[in-house]
Structures are given as structure tokens and as C-alpha cells.
Structure 1
Amino acid sequence: METEHREQTEAFDNTPWPSTTLPDWMSDLPGHLSLSRISVPGTHDSMSLFGNSKIRCQSWPLEAQLAAGVRFLDIRCKLEGGHFLIYHVNTFQEADFSEVLKKTLGFLEEHPWETVLMRVKEELPMIPNEAFAPRLRQYLEEEGQGRVWAKETIPTLGQARGKVVILEELEEEVLGVPHEELKVGDAWHVLSAERKWDRVKEHLGVATTGDLAILHLTFCSGNGLFTNPEELAKDINPRCYEHLRARAGETVRWGVVIMDFPGTGLIRIIVESNLEMGSGCTTA
């Protein structure tokens, strides 16, 4: 059987675990900062570790992503039998939302100065499930241990420390910061890597100059007929790394930068654009 080739660079990583970790990087940031003013590393389809090359978006499990410094999670669910099962398209990711929430809150209990932004959406329903939103609300109240921010307003870091902040993308009910109040750049359907990078670079520019009260999300991820998430990340992630590194040493609000297969160097360069903080990187 052919051995799967694993690659680990500053910008791209498809190995099982990051080489370095940043588990407490938010602890150096002042609590009065709104989350909309902070540069945050994130992952797209964060739990999509299983399936073919068109489906897989990550190689690090949830615990590794959080340890590496990822503070935005993109969680896609289908409500089946009263449970929120994690899917990417129609591929079950061998996890449920209960597990995701438990592990995330467990991480935050060990690292109480951190917060995690969590985008929760129903994955590609033919017809939106009317029970999805009320069941999600009930679940967050019962299982969230009082540590879930499900208000419409964007909190300060001080208000959000130790909590999961929900960014909702629901059809009707508002549960968390509404999707339509975010500034999102997500050109996910990719015809060419050049055009994709142009869109990413453009939206990163918008994030640096846009309203500081608005949370900006830039998706570096994508898929297409002639590419897949991993191959695209090998191209886009290094471009993103070099683009951000060109402004190293400056305080830059890049917003939430959302990636497939991120490398620890790319995560670090996003984190370090918040110059109020120190370093504190540890070897895994």
C-alpha cells in the first residue's frame, strides 16, 4: 500500500500534530479589547479529518488545533435523532457536537484566559430542519456549563475569557452573533489559485482598514473541480504567510484568518500581529 506523504512547513501542515504550540497566547492581551479588534487564527471545517481528498480539510484533531493557537472553529452539524452529528457534505466525521463542546470547554478550563469563537451551522440541508435552532439553544443551555456566549453582541476579551463565543448561521432564530452582522470573505468555489489568492488578499486588506467594531472573517480555504482543500492550502497558505510576514513588527488587525491545514508559522504570524502580547511558544 502506498505510504501517505506528510509535509510540515511554516505555512502548511498535514501531519498529525503541530510542531509547536501556543496554548495561552490570549493571556497577554488586555481584557478591554473587543474580539473584533483581535487577529485570530482559525480553521475551516475544523472537524473534517475523514473522507476523500475533496472532503478532508484538516489533519490535526481538535485538541491539537486548540493547543497550536487556533481560536476560531467552524463546526458543521446535522440534527439526527436528537443529536448534532458532525458532517462535511454527506461524510460523517466520526464526532458529534457534544464531543466538540466538551473538549473545547475542557481546554478553556485548563487555559481560562483564552476564548474560542465557534461558527455553528446546519450542514447542507435539502430543507432546513425547523428543530435545529431550538434544539441547539436547548443543548447550549444544558451542556454549555454557563460558559457559552450566545448573545448577539460581540464581547470584549475580558467578557469572553474561558467561554465559547457562538457565531450563528441559522435560517431564522438568532443564537449568538448573527452571520449577517459579520464581514465575511469566503470565495470557496475555486477556479484558479491565482484568483483565489486575489480574493483572500483583497479581504485581508478590508480587515486591516475596516470598522474595528465589526468582526472580519477571511476564508483562505476553498475547493474546486481542478483542486481540493489540501492542494489549494499548499498554494494559498505560503502566500498568506509571506503577505502577513511583510508587516511583521506592526500592530495589524487581520481579523479572523481561517485556513485548511495551517502551519504553526502561519498561526504564529497571525497571533504576533497583536503586538500587545508576548511570545510564550512552547515545543510540543
Structure 2
Amino acid sequence: MDQTESFDNSPQPAASLPDWMADLPDHLTISRISIPGTHDTMSLFGGSNLRCQSWPLEAQLEAGIRFLDIRCKLEDGHFLIYHLNTYQEADFSTVLKVTLSFLRQHSRETVLMRIKEELPLFPHSDFGSRLRRYKDEEGQGRIWDKETIPTLGEARGMIVILEELENEILGVSYEELSVGDSWHVLSADSKWDRVWEHLDVADTTSHATLHLTFCSGNGLFTNPEELAQNINQRCYEHLRTQAGKGRQWGVVIMDFPGAGLIKTIVESNLETGNDDTAAPNPEAL
């Protein structure tokens, strides 16, 4: 298979899927949808050991990405975007502005947004209250901040926050989700085993739970880009062999995803064969 279908480190994606959720039924809960996402969504800088993506946020959304992994540090009253200790030349206001602009233009889509405080020595006491201010002042009334996982109808045109706050409730609790994130990688084979296992968990256990499978990772003998070339290809081949079997993958989170891999995740929503998941119009894909 052509690896460019699964892995893409070019500046812009090769295909566009801006409205793939449009014909999915409103009553479908978000946890029953197979969703492509990016790990460390805004990490475009810092060299081979830190860079996880090559497409800007607008391009990721246009390409069909519907889960964003946003890492922030609170500095001088603002959330700045970081990967580890490297500033990613963006702030949270920009992330909100770009995402909400996309959702205005594509009002039948929704975007899941994990918001994480990046590498604090101790959790910043004002992180939760500042996030609430962002929601109230810049969220335009289009942020789902409840603990319950919404239906697609409830979430259309909105950002669904997945948060890890200790003393605030500003969205779905990340700690309550089913997360497969073996990020420290000793070998590509062992990493793929963990990815495969959690994809199977996502398909075979309760779909009332939101399942997140991270294909991404880093390690002493690899880096995000090198690993993505291997794992993305294996994931692409695996999902393609399962096409037509009505399987559900939850959120599949990647570094440097290729257009073919994104499309394969999206198209699995056509094949579930569930009464709950009336198939969307293939022409929308």
C-alpha cells in the first residue's frame, strides 16, 4: 500500500472532508462515532523529537479531524500552547477562534477538544477559573461544558470539552474515559500491540463510554514522525481489513495522519449496521 495514504508530513492535506458528520443521525451519541483525531494538535515546532503535526489547525479540521489535543500553560493570565517546554507560537484564543470559525461554516460538525495543562510542577490554581473565563468570554455560547457525553444533535456546531481539572467541572471528565495512551515507546511492535488491543476494546466493550486510542508515541530509539510512519501504516491496513464488518473504533488519535487513514476511520461510520447508526449519505464523504 502507498504509505502516503496513512502518513503525511507535508504542509497541507491531500484531501478534504469538512462535512463528514452532516448526515449522521442526531440521536447518535458521540461515543458511538468513529472519529479521527490528532495528538498534540498544535505541535508544529521543536525539531524531530517534539514535532507531531505538519498541518495547521484550519487544515486539520478541513481534512476531517474532529478531536484536538490542546496543551496549555498559563502565563501572564493567558493560555499559551506548548509541547513540553517548547512554545508552539499559538495561544488558546487562536485555537478557539479558528475552531469556532470552522464550526460556523460547517454547523453540522462537532469538535472534541481535550484541554490539558502542560507539564506543571504543580497544577496551577487558576487554570480552571481561566478556562471558565475563556469559555464565557470567547466561547460564543458554543461550548459543551457538561459532564455527560452529548448526542451528535446536541453537539452540532459546538466544541465538546474533555478536561482534567481537579476542582472544576467544565466538560466531560477525561479521567472517566477509556484511554489507551502508551506514549513511551520501546519498539514499534510493542506500540502497535497496545494500539491494536485498545482498538479492539473500543469495538467490543460498552459504547456508552468514549474510547480514545493514541497511535502516537516517542522514545529513546524513535521520534513521533518516525513512529507515525510505522504505526499509521499498520493502523490503516488493519482498519481496511475490517471494513464492512460494522466495527466501531471510537476516537483514533494520530501524529502526521494521511488522508486515506482519516477517510477509512470516517467511512467506518457507514458500515456499523446498527439501528442506532443510520448510515450517512456516502456522497457527503
Q: Structure 1 length normalisation: TM-score?
A: 0.95
Q: How far did residue 281 of structure 1 move?
A: 6.5
What root-mean-square deviation, in Å, do the aligned CA atoms of Structure 1 and Structure 2 show? Answer: 1.2
Q: 2:87 aligns with which of 74, 82, 92?
A: 92
Alignment partner, residue 130 of structure 1: 125
Q: Distance in 2 between matches of 1:271 and 1:74?
A: 19
Superposed CA offset, 1:196-228 (max 9, x none):
000000000000011111000000000001100
- Measure the CA separation in 2 of the matches of 1:259 and 1:279: 24
Q: Contact conserved, 1:21 with 1:281, CA < 8 A, in 2?
A: no
1:251 CA displacement: 2.5
Distance in 1 between the 2:108 and 2:256 partners? 25
Asked whether the equivalents of residues 37 and 212 of structure 1 are also in contact (C-alpha less than 8 Å), the reply is yes
Cα shift at 1:51: 0.8
Give yes or no for the alignment of 1:236 onto 2:231.
yes
Answer yes or no: is the 8 Å Cα contact 1:25–1:280 preserved in 2. Answer: no
Q: Distance in 2 between matches of 1:278 and 1:263?
A: 23
2:273 equivalent in structure 1? none
For the 8 Å contact 2:6–2:236, the answer to whether it is kept is yes
C-alpha displacement of 1:138: 1.5
- Among 157, 168, 174, the alignment partner of 2:169 is 174
Aligned with 1:56 (options 42, 51, 61):
51
State yes or no: 1:279 paired with 2:274.
no
2:18 is equivalent to residue 23 of structure 1: yes
User: Could you tell me how far 1:11 is from its partner in structure 2?
Assistant: 0.2
Taking the aligned partners of 1:188 and 1:274, their CA distance within structure 2 comes to 27
Q: Is the 8 A contact 2:22 2:284 kept in 1?
A: no
Q: Is the 8 A contact 2:110 2:159 kept in 1?
A: yes
- Letter paired with 1:273: S
C-alpha distance in structure 1 between counterparts of 2:113 and 2:164, whole Å = 11
Secondary structure of the equivalent of 2:79?
strand
Cα separation, 2, equivalents of 1:261 and 1:169: 25
Deviations 1:34-70, CA, capped at 9 Å, x for gaps: 0000000000000000111111000000001000000
SS of the residue 1:25 aligns to? coil
Looking at structure 1, the residues matched to 13 and 113 of structure 2 have their Cα atoms a distance apart, in angstroms, of 21
Q: Deviations over 1:64-104 (max 9, x none)?
A: 10000000000000000111000000000000000000000
What is the deviation of 1:133? 0.6
Q: 1:217 aligns with which of 212, 218, 224?
A: 212
Provide the rounded CA distance (Å) in 1 between the counterparts of 2:227 and 2:284: 28
Q: Cα deviation per residue 1:18-41 (whole Å; 9 max; x = unaligned)?
A: 111000000010000000000000
Within the candidate set 187, 194, 199, 2:182 is matched to 187
Q: How many residues align?
A: 276
Pairs within 5 Å for 1:132-211: 132-211=127-206
Give the structure-2-normalised TM-score.
Answer: 0.95
**How big is the shift at 1:173?**
2.0
Amino acid paired to 1:256? V
**2:107 alignment counterpart:** 112
Letter aligned with residue 79 of structure 2? F
The amino acid of 1:74's aligned partner reads D
Gaps of 5+ in 2: 271-278
Instruction: Give the CA deviation at 1:181.
Output: 1.2
Partner residue, 1:81: 76
Superposed, 1:243-258 pairs within 5 Å as 243-258=238-253
The sequence identity of aligned pairs, in percent, is: 72
Which amino acid in the other structure matches residue 95 of structure 2? V
Q: Distance in 2 between matches of 1:246 and 1:52?
A: 34
Contact 2:81–2:91 (CA<8 Å) still a contact in 1? yes
Partner of 1:70: 65
